[in-house]
Amino acid sequence: MQDRARMIAGNWKMNNGAAATVSFFEKLGSWLSADETGKGAAAAGKSGRIEIVVAPPFTSLAAAVAAKKSEYIGIAAQNAHFEPKGAFTGEISLQMLEEAGCKYVILGHSERRHVFGETDDLLQKKLDSTLGSKLLPIFCAGELLEERESGDTERVLERQLSIALANAAAADAAKKLTIAYEPVWAIGTGKVASNDDAQGACSFIRSFIGQKFGQEAAQKIRILYGGSVKPENSAGILSQKDIDGLLIGGASVEAESFARIIATAFGA
Ligand code: PGA
């Protein structure tokens, strides 16, 4: 078994206001403390074998930080601006997220890239600023359906990662960075990548990191898969050797299905 701690991360997107956030953590907390499987997950969390991460919308961050209780549950923001402050209406800085109690920030999610037009160059700035802050980035990369069909998956991953990581150091890759492979065609569509396809892309990402930053970084970096993960398919994906965890959208919004996915992630 690999020695990288697993990460099970839920990206709520624009779901769960503050009241729903409190009720989510009440349910998750009672599962972790009272249910037999949940107690196993809590023990895995306490011993550092798994880390649970939840990324609520900005206005629910304070409620999540107050309600989460456990140290092994980290709170992530879904996005951030690269400047520390200034005239950027509607934006939130990394320092504000740090002050709000976040540990992680998701960058480059496909909805940010394809719905809100975030470019590789913008994401490089965001990643550079995050690596210079106290927050830890969960950086998403992945190809569109037409790119997969034309055999361009690896070229796209290489382009996204080499631009984003142009200024990063080996120590950043080894100690701070988590990468999420999220094929765009699998996000919110119900079409999960096959275990082999997910493993193939994650293994490509690990070799890319190895070539750029050396073997130590390649062995330490955590690589997640995201795209239509459900309690029914999570164990198969997690059994792949280069997949260290999951970034879950729809199935993370309700505590019950998120807990069922967590249950497949420890000891597996
Ligand atoms: P999904 O989203 O699990 O709803 O497909 C994944 C993601 O966007 O991270």
pLDDT (0 to 100) of residue 11: 98
Residue 38: inside a domain: yes
- 177-196 mean pLDDT: 94
Calpha distance 19→246 (Å, rounded): 25
How many CB atoms are located within 10 Å of the residue 152 CB? 15
Residue 143: inside a domain: yes
Average the pLDDT over each of 63-67, 92-96, 192-196 and give the range with the smallest value: 192-196
Express each pLDDT in 53-93 by its tens digit: 999 999 999 999 999 989 999 999 999 999 999 999 999 99
* Angle, CA 209 vertex, CA 227 and CA 172 arms, to 5°: 95
Q: How confident is the model at residue 48 (pLDDT cuts 50, 70, 90)?
A: very high
**Closest by CA position to 183, among listed 142, 155, 151:** 142
pLDDT (0 to 100) of residue 100: 98
Instruction: Please pick, among 51, 81, 109, 147, the residue that the annotation labels catalytic.
Output: 109
Q: Are 179 and 186 in contact (CB under 8 A)?
A: no
pLDDT at 15 over 50: yes
Residue nearest to atom 3 of ligand 1 (CA): 249
The answer, yes or no, to whether any atom of ligand 1 lies below 6 A from the CB of 142, is no
* 60 CA to centre of ligand 1 in angstroms: 19
* 141 CA to centre of ligand 1 in angstroms: 13
In SS3 terms, 180-239 reads as EECCHHHCCCCCCCCHHHHHHHHHHHHHHHHHHHCHHHHHHCEEEEECCCCCCCHHHHHC
Total domains present in the chain: 1
Residue 89: inside a domain: yes
Q: Are 82 and 107 in contact (CB under 8 A)?
A: no
Domain encompassing residue 226: 6-267
The answer, yes or no, to whether any atom of ligand 1 lies below 6 A from the CB of 228, is yes
The answer, yes or no, to whether any atom of ligand 1 lies below 6 A from the CB of 234, is no
The answer, yes or no, to whether any atom of ligand 1 lies below 6 A from the CB of 193, is no
Q: SS3 of 5, please? A: coil
Residue 183: inside a domain: yes
The answer, yes or no, to whether any atom of ligand 1 lies below 6 A from the CB of 11, is yes
pLDDT (0 to 100) of residue 268: 46
Measured N-to-C along each axis, helices 36-46 and 18-34 cross at an angle, to the nearest 10 degrees, of 100
Residue nearest to atom 9 of ligand 1 (CA): 249
Mean confidence (pLDDT) of the chain: 96
* 142 CA to centre of ligand 1 in angstroms: 12
Burial class (CB in 10 A: 0-12, 13-18, 19+), 140: buried
Residue 262: inside a domain: yes
Domain CATH code at residue 195: 3.20.20.70
* 218 CA to centre of ligand 1 in angstroms: 25
User: Which ligand 1 atom is the nearest neighbour of the CA of 247?
Assistant: 9
**Closest by CA position to 203, among listed 157, 267, 150, 261:** 157
User: Which ligand 1 atom is the nearest neighbour of the CA of 180?
Assistant: 9
Residue 231: inside a domain: yes
Residue 122: inside a domain: yes
pLDDT (0 to 100) of residue 267: 61
pLDDT (0 to 100) of residue 109: 98
Express each pLDDT in 206-252 by its tens digit: 999 999 999 999 999 999 999 999 999 999 999 999 999 999 999 99
Identify whether 114 is a catalytic site residue.
no
* 227 CA to centre of ligand 1 in angstroms: 5
pLDDT (0 to 100) of residue 1: 38
**Closest by CA position to 4, among listed 202, 258, 211:** 202
Query: How much is the pTM?
Result: 0.97
pLDDT (0 to 100) of residue 230: 96
Residue nearest to atom 8 of ligand 1 (CA): 249
Express each pLDDT in 115-138 by its tens digit: 999 999 999 999 999 999 999 999
Identify whether 83 is a catalytic site residue.
no
Residue 234: inside a domain: yes
Longest CA span, the chain: 50
Residues 6+ apart with CB under 8 A from 111: 13, 187
